[in-house]
C-alpha cells in the first residue's frame, strides 16, 4: 500500500457513520509503529 492508497482508505473511514450511541473520534496515532498510521477512539 502506498501513501495515496492509505489516504483514500482514511477518507473512506472518515465517512463511516456508526449507530447513534457510538461516538467516533480521531485521535493521534502511535508514532513509529508503522509507515502510515491512523487511530480513532469509540
The per-residue pLDDT for range 10-40, each reduced to its tens digit, is 999 999 999 999 999 999 999 888 999 999 9
Q: Which helix (H) or strand (E) holds 3?
A: helix 3-15
pLDDT over 90 (residue 6): yes
CA–CA distance, 42 with 34 (Å, rounded to integer):
21
**Predicted pLDDT of residue 27:** 96
Cell of 29: 496515532
**Measuring CA to CA, how many Å separate 16 from each of 8, 20, 34?**
13, 12, 23
Whole-structure pTM over 0.85, yes or no? no
**Predicted pLDDT of residue 33:** 87
> Where along the chain do its domains lie?
3-41
Amino acid at each position: 500500500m502506498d501513501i495515496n492508497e492509505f489516504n483514500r482508505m482514511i477518507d473512506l473511514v472518515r465517512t463511516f457513520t456508526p449507530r447513534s450511541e457510538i461516538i467516533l473520534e480521531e485521535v493521534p496515532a502511535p508514532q513509529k509503529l508503522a509507515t502510515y498510521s491512523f487511530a480513532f477512539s469509540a
